[in-house]
Amino acid sequence: MLYVLTGNGKGKTTSALGTALRSLGHGQRVVIIQFLKNWDSSGEVLFFKDLGLGVELHRFGREDRRFVNPIRLEKIDFELAEKAMRMAYLVLEKQPDLLILDEINVALKFELLKLETVLEFLDRVPKGTHVLFTGRGAHSEIINRADLVTEMKEIKHPYQKGLKAQKGLDY
C-alpha cells in the first residue's frame, strides 16, 4: 500500500508517526527517512533514540537547520535529497513492514528529486512493505498511484497570531 499525507495543514508527520507506533505495536519493522529535516531536538528523534524501539530513523537535512528556500535552491539541497533517496533504495533490501518517507512530497515539489526516480522506487517496493509519503504539494502522479490520500487543511494556526512552534506539540 502507498499512503500519502499532504496539504497545507499541520499533522502530516504527526499522523505518519502515529502509524509507525501502530506498526511497532504489532511487532513490525519500521524505517523512517526524513527529507529536508535534521533537528536533534524534535520529539520523535528524542523518543525513538531514548526508548530504543528498534525504529530506524535517518535524517537528511541541512546541518545548519535552515529550511530549503525553493527560490534559491543550493547544491547541498539536491545532494541531501539524493542521499535520502539512495537510503530509501538501500532500506528496501531489508524489506521493512513500514517505510515512511517524510517530506518527500516537498522534495519532489521543489524538484530536488526527479518524479521518474520516485516512481521507479515505488515500482521496486517489495510485496509486504507499506510506504507512507508526507509533505505539502503531493504530485498528481503520486496521488494517482496511492491507495490512500489524506489532505490536511489549515483552518486556523497559532502562527497566524505570531506564536512560535511549541515544544512537544509542533516539534
Model pTM?
0.90
CATH architecture of 2-161: 3-Layer(aba) Sandwich (3.40)
Query: For residue 146, how many C-alpha atoms fall within 13 Å in the half-sphere facing its CB?
Result: 19
What's the pLDDT tens digit per position in 144-171? 999 999 999 988 887 788 888 777 777 6
Query: How confident is the prediction for the chain on average, in pLDDT?
Result: 91
Residue 39 clears pLDDT 80, i.e. is over it: no
Average pLDDT over residues 30-47: 81
pLDDT of residue 60: 93
Average pLDDT over residues 54-70: 84
